[in-house]
Amino acid sequence: MARRGLLNAALGVEIRARRLEAGLSQQQLWTRAELPKNVYQRLEGGQRTISVEQLDAIAEALETTMDDIAAAAKNRIARGEIRTRAERAADELRAAIGFD
């Protein structure tokens, strides 16, 4: 996963964190943002590249701005909080075979 995949993951983590902080279910947020269920779930899961329109709709539903969400996601990357699926899989493999 390249930088884009890392950013997708970070945006998904940030959107989920803000949704939970707002006390909203996934369904409440995708309804407010007027997004299809499967699209929203893939966005929050970091499995889909988010469009500007989708990020704007989600930000509005969360009563924040796209800039705030994007900046927070980039900060998560800078702090090393976001790992790619490949990195997580490699860690799991190392743990399974006892290689540290």
Taking only the tens place, the pLDDT of each residue in 29-72 is 999 999 999 999 999 998 899 999 999 999 999 999 999 999 99
Q: What is the pLDDT of residue 2?
A: 55
Distance CA 14, CA 4 (A): 15
Which residues form the domain of 51?
A: 3-97
Q: Rounded to two decimals, what is the model's pTM?
A: 0.83
Residue 5 — pLDDT band, cuts 50, 70, 90?
A: confident
Q: What is the CATH number of the domain that holds 27?
A: 1.10.260.40
Of 59, 26, 32, residue with least CA distance to 44: 26
Q: Structural domain tally of the chain?
A: 1
Residue 1 — pLDDT band, cuts 50, 70, 90?
A: very low
